[in-house]
Chain A
């Protein structure tokens, strides 16, 4: 099946620093990628939809200036958590849509555990 690679798997950073997370579709082109956030024992919450070559669409309550998304190619989307604070500590997961006609054909990355000290 389709493979989505997410890097890094985990990151620890100091408060106030910025962290970049990469999401790559390895064997297919993804015009659309999605970024989710998951707190412990909670479900996945959609943060934003990333479209190649255009601005990301953010869900209500998600600060676009804090969570910068760049989708510069058909196989790569990045999420940058700017000026991270402890409350930003969470598990971040990306997914990529392999078929532009089928939202259910989403393949998820393995996630990034962010811990902000």
Chain B
């Protein structure tokens, strides 16, 4: 089945730093989504991407849908403490199972001690 490789698995940030994470797949998706999950909570949608090559921003967050439709990246600029959490990418194809959201394994953002 389809799998998503998300990297890095974890990263430490200092306030003000820019952060970048990405997801790659062995097969194509029609839609890429990025979610953030705080401890003990459900995921919250950050950005949705619908077209290959699309670049979309949401505040300090920017995400791009790769032109091959097999990858996507998420950038966070000028990170702040509340950015910590787990970020998941998810790929979606229409026409298959109604719940055909495939999630990456997540990137955990922590603050450098």
Interface residues of B in 39-64 (CB under 8 A from A): 40-45, 48
Residues of A within 8 A of B106 (CB): 41-43
For residue A110, CB closer than 8 A to chain B, the reply is yes
Mark each residue of chain B from 59 to 102: 1 if its CB lies under 8 Å from any CB of chain A, else 0.
00000000000000000000000000000100010100111110
For the complex, is A93 an interface residue (Cβ under 8 Å from B)? Answer: yes
Secondary structure type dominating chain A contacts: strand
Interface size class of B (residues with CB under 8 A): 20 to 34
CA distance A97 to B44 in the complex (A): 13
Closest residue on chain A to residue B48 by CB atoms: A104
Does the CB pair A46–B99 fall under 8 Å? yes
Report which of A44, A51, A104, A111 forms a contact with B41, defined as CB distance below 8 A: A111
Q: How many residues of A contact B (CB 8 A)?
A: 27
**Most B CB atoms within 10 A — which of A9, A42, A111?**
A111
Instruction: Give the residues in chain B near A57, CB-CB below 8 Å.
Output: 97-98
Given the known inter-chain contacts A42-B105, A44-B103, A103-B100, please indicate yes or no for A108 contacting B88, CB distance below 8 A.
Answer: no
Q: Which single residue of chain A is at the shortest CB-CB distance from B44? A: A108
With beta carbons under 8 angstroms apart, the residue of B94, B98, B100, B105 that contacts A43 is B105
Query: Given that A104-B48, A104-B92 are known contacts, is A49 also in contact with B40, CB under 8 Å in the complex?
Result: no
| Contact of A49 with B105 at beta-carbon distance under 8 Å, contacts A104-B92, A109-B42 already known | no
Q: What residue of chain A has the Cβ atom nearest to residue B100's Cβ?
A: A103
Closest chain-B Cβ to A87's Cβ sits at a distance in Å of: 21
CB pair B42 A108 closer than 8 Å: yes
Provide the bound-state CA to CA distance between A81 and B45, in Å. Answer: 27
Among A34, A45, A104, residue most surrounded by chain B Cβ atoms (within 10 Å):
A104
The verdict on A113 contacting chain B, using a C-beta distance below 8 Å, is: yes
B33 CB, min distance to chain A CBs, angstroms? 6
Q: Which residues of A contact B88 (CB under 8 A)?
A: 43-44
A97 to B43: give the CA distance in the assembly, Å. Answer: 14
| Sample of 15 A–B contacts (CB below 8 Å) | A34-B101, A43-B106, A44-B43, A44-B88, A45-B103, A46-B101, A49-B98, A49-B99, A51-B98, A97-B98, A103-B94, A103-B99, A103-B100, A104-B92, A109-B42
